[in-house]
Structure 1
């Protein structure tokens, strides 16, 4: 097919069409080149370099010139109209060579400041299969640092809004076979019905589509620059993302541990708070029942995030104190307004204190100082920097490599020194967790023994499953009692959020401070009968205010 360009006005909109166009295209393109923001003519190069923000005319001209060159298939010219020719040229060239786009119409919309939205209507042809493809994207125009010209501020998302640096746009046989995922009761799980399952289903397809007996189809997809099975850690490349299906493959039936009812509740709950994530697991087995996120970046923070968990960490800290004989549920424990450890002072919320209180009361009211003061006694024994990491790994599986079935970050409670040792006791400092980790911690407290979270049957998951020792029976009972008090007593920080949750229930709230962030991250962990869940809402404030309602909604749905 001949490559050319035709430009005109349709319904008041500037339109660029490439592929199979006729006479006169060259003259129209030349006219664009002479605009302030457009091309690379001798006149434009000789003009004095401009400064300051690009004008409206420059923004329009730069956008039109770039889109015209892109539509024509002239990757070299289009890349020179960006502020990063080296990075943009391969992707622009690959739009035809790798994605097999044979015809494209680009229609700019009205600029908003320096941002110009546009629609894409394309045709993709591959090995005799042809299909239309349409989507929307946008570009921004900036002043070139050296030339002073108005240029497109390059980002891969210009090509497609889902495309990121290091990724490729390809049409061909899919990297893996499609799947038909079903929950533990056989109900089908789709991205359309459960949108935040998108990254999870993509990861499951990449890992198990071929293993479960499926056959790949022909697709246009976004793939990572380097291949990987994507299951080892959050640092693995993301699984391929299908944008268009030219011919369907044979889907593999994949059974998961998810629960459609709990997933639906999780999807609805996270929509109420931006930058929120939640995970629910069956406490007695570790089977994941729900995973949901509501984030601008589409990152699966529920299983791959790395954030300080705040006072939800006190579930593990309490375990460590009980096991070392430094505290007990009904024993007295000091809860002053503040406490200092190795030069750093730690405070309770609003500097509250509890006179003649017990560990149960300090846990339920989330007293920070009560869980930091015993560090001195641990230090006297020479285990202050290791007691919490050892407890996290020995009983909760944190620090082991999990084999869940999808990419996960498996929590980190590192050995520490100085003030970080005290900060770790209340889930700050160097401790990093995500909702999957804290849902598992909660499930361990509820069940009395760690069961590594899983999302597919063991027969599919290659490799070992992480294990840990059961909690001492007396310790587990004290944890359940204190969490139950937190969720039911008038002074418990989780009582309001858990008020609508039935069954035998427990909770722990958390607020994690983040440098240069106005509001703390809201954390909440809870259980009802055999279902445990944890959530985080970034910049959500107190644990019970944002993350609490998310967890409660999922627990109320049951499983």
Structure 2
């Protein structure tokens, strides 16, 4: 024990107070790092013992609580990264005092509670949180060491991020919908992280004033900073978004009943995003950043590709829809091996005939474009794969060139194609509007970024695609889901097989009036059964 330190026993755990800072620890057995004789022991191997775990955790937490970054970092398996964050705990996060109390170890993991005081320019606030560390065996030294992760310092820290206290980089915002209704995080939980991102990008454009905050400062422009503690509140600025509170409420409700689901809605005439919702609401923003195969909803783009290259000329063109088709040694089939003799393109689309679209490979191969045609059409007319400046972090779709069986899979929305609900809502919006309007979360008067652009659909192509989607909604695979939706409507179902997942992901996209939407339900099965009702609920909120 260092001279001048005081000890106490609290609940069986030693609490050490030094220099106004307290830290928890355990009584160590002699011989943790030696043999009790002062001689250096041989390099140890295997998992750390309970005594080593307790001792290493105690020493690390003691050094950290005291502000001894050098000693604490030396007890980790990545001293350089640990030193920067532990030092910054005092110098950048402005922690003046800390008490770190460990709990009982669970295996090699040791939980602990941090009770700290943050001080900035005479203003102080308490900060309490929980985290945990894991003790491992050092590969080269054989010592028991803390496995370094940024989350050791704070559970919300990720690689490259840090804690900082000071004037916020942007004022707080009050986000409102297109009609001026406040979009509170409590009422619309799926928007919480989105609003944080909007604050980072557009807060300075409002009339708000920054406060003094302890924040997790992100290492990436695409990831919003997160406020942990407000020392001095700022003045919120009002930021108008494109969200429609009614549609957003319907979207939140529609996905809530599923373990993992997402939905997005877009206004076709403007590209303005009307709703974004995820279940769970506080998890990964799958609606905007998901990247999964979209299944047969991709046949909208595949149909455009076939029209562009003259394989069909309209919805009434005759096509083949056999039970199965072979390509590059692999057999592809329709659901339950159905077939449609003497089919029209409209019928094949409405029935979601896989074989019709896969048969497009042969003539496109003869044209020398089979591997790239789908991606080219996706970018040219639908803006897929371009750099969308929505105001939030997004995955903007990807349709890579393919070969062999991958090409066949891609034509029916499988393979290496990746999309999310926003991407597919935009595809439907492009069909409905006749031209791609890049989605945005804030009005273009505020979001002055260079928006992605694409060529308008040729009028005949647009008419045909709308006819195909209307056929799906009125008498095809989307009929049941779209039955409650009135007015001019169109849809496309999809189901995407994912690895060893027992049930496919359920996809659905559609439009009604000046609203388009798309949803995906993880392991939801057929598109019209799970994702379809989600989309219908959102469309009905327009």
TM-score computed with the length of structure 2 as normaliser: 0.88
**C-alpha distance in 1, partners of 2:441/2:30?**
56
- 2:238 match: secondary structure: strand
**Residue 535 (structure 1) aligned with residue 519 (structure 2):** yes
Residues 132-171 of structure 1 correspond to what in structure 2 (within 5 A)?
Answer: 132-171=126-165
Q: 297-306 or 312-321: which moved more?
A: 297-306
Residue pairs, 1:159-558, within 5 angstroms: 159-225=153-219, 230=221, 236=222, 238-294=223-279, 298-327=283-312, 328-489=314-475, 492-515=476-499, 519-556=503-540, 558=541
Query: Given the superposition, is the C-alpha separation of residues 184 and 20 from structure 1 closer, same or farther in structure 2, using an over 3 Å criterion?
Result: same
Q: 1:101 to 1:18 in 2, by over 3 A?
A: farther
For residues 350 and 370 of structure 1, what CA distance do their matches in structure 2 show? Answer: 15
- CA deviations 1:290-331 (Å, max 9, x no partner) are 122336994433223333222111011112223444234344
Secondary structure of 1:46's aligned partner: coil
Distance 2:155 2:437 in 1: 39
Matched-pair contact (CA < 8 Å) for 2:289–2:393:
yes
SS of residue in 2 equivalent to 1:484: helix
Give the C-alpha shift of residue 515 in structure 1. Answer: 4.3
Within 1, Cα distance between the matches of 2:250 and 2:490? Answer: 19
Q: CA deviation at 1:157?
A: 1.2
Shift of 1:518: 5.3
- Give the direction of change, closer, same or farther, for the CA distance of 1:72–1:43 in structure 2 (3 Å limit): farther
Give the C-alpha shift of residue 51 in structure 1: 4.3
Which residues of structure 1 form unaligned runs of 5+? 231-235
Counterpart secondary structure, 1:427? coil
Checking the alignment, whether the CA contact within 8 Å between 2:488 and 2:512 is kept in structure 1 is: yes
Work out which of the residue numbers 79, 83, 90 in structure 1 matches 2:77: 83
1:233 aligns to what? Answer: none
Contact 1:220 1:242 in 2 (8 A): yes
Q: Aligned-pair distance for 1:156?
A: 0.9
Are 2:189 and 2:282, in contact at CA under 8 Å, matched by a contact in 1?
no
Q: How far 1:503 sits from its partner (Å)?
A: 4.1
Contact residue 83 and residue 153 of structure 1 kept, 8 A: yes
Could you give the per-residue CA deviations for residues 484-518 of structure 1, whole angstroms, max 9, x where no partner exists?
A: 343343xx433444444444433222223344655
Give the 3-state SS of the residue equivalent to 2:429 in structure 1: helix
Q: Residues 43-79 of structure 1: CA distance to partner in whole angstroms, max 9, x if unpaired?
A: 7983455544445454444433332222222222222
Q: CA RMSD in A?
A: 3.2
Residues 538/18 of structure 1: CA separation in 2 closer, same or farther (3 Å cut): farther
Matched, 1:94 2:94: no
Compared with structure 1, are the counterparts of its residues 442 and 346 closer, same or farther at alpha carbon in structure 2 (3 Å cutoff)? same
Whole-angstrom distance in 2 between the partners of 1:21 and 1:223: 26
Of the structure 1 ranges 42-51 and 337-346, higher mean CA displacement relative to structure 2 is found in 42-51
- Note if contact 1:217-1:249 (Cα within 8 Å) is conserved in structure 2: yes
* Matched position secondary structure for 2:448: coil
Per mean C-alpha deviation after superposition, the further-off stretch among 282-291 and 389-398 is: 389-398
> In 2 relative to 1, CA 276–106 (structure 1 residues): closer, same or farther, beyond 3 Å?
farther
CA distance in 2, matches of 1:395, 1:544: 26
Measured against aligned partners, the alpha-carbon deviations of 1:123-174 in whole angstroms (never above 9, x if no partner) come to 1001111111122222223333344444332211121111101111111121
Contact 2:98–2:114 (CA under 8 A) maintained in structure 1 = yes
Q: CA deviation at 1:239?
A: 2.3
Q: Cα 1:70–1:382, aligned 2, differ >3 Å: closer, same or farther?
A: same
Q: How does 1:16-27 map to 2 (within 5 A)?
A: 20=20
Does the Cα contact within 8 Å between 1:36 and 1:58 map onto a contact in 2? no
Conservation of the 8 A alpha-carbon contact between 1:34 and 1:44: no
Moved more, 149-158 or 431-440: 149-158
User: Is the Cα–Cα contact under 8 Å of residues 257 and 456 in structure 1 kept in the other structure?
Assistant: yes
TM-score (norm 1): 0.86
Contact 2:30 2:36 in 1 (8 A): no
Find the aligned partners of 1:362 and 1:81 in 2 and give their Cα distance.
65
- Which shows bigger deviation, 5-14 or 429-438? 5-14
Conservation of the 8 A alpha-carbon contact between 2:354 and 2:412: yes
Counterpart in 2 of 1:109? 103
Deviates more, 1:324-333 or 1:71-80: 324-333
Cα distance in 1, alignment partners of residues 49 and 281 from structure 2: 30
CA distance in 1, matches of 2:39, 2:528: 61
2:124 to 106, 122, 130: 130
Distance 1:84 1:66 in 2: 13
Shift in alpha-carbon separation, 1:158–1:503, aligned structure 2, 3 A? farther
The answer to whether the 8 A contact 1:14-1:108 is kept is no
Give the distance between the partners of 1:15 and 1:353, measured in 2 at CA.
75
CA distance in 1, matches of 2:336, 2:72: 58
Structure-2 separation of matches of 1:99 and 1:219 = 10
Q: Check conservation: 1:19, 1:103, Cα contact below 8 A.
A: no
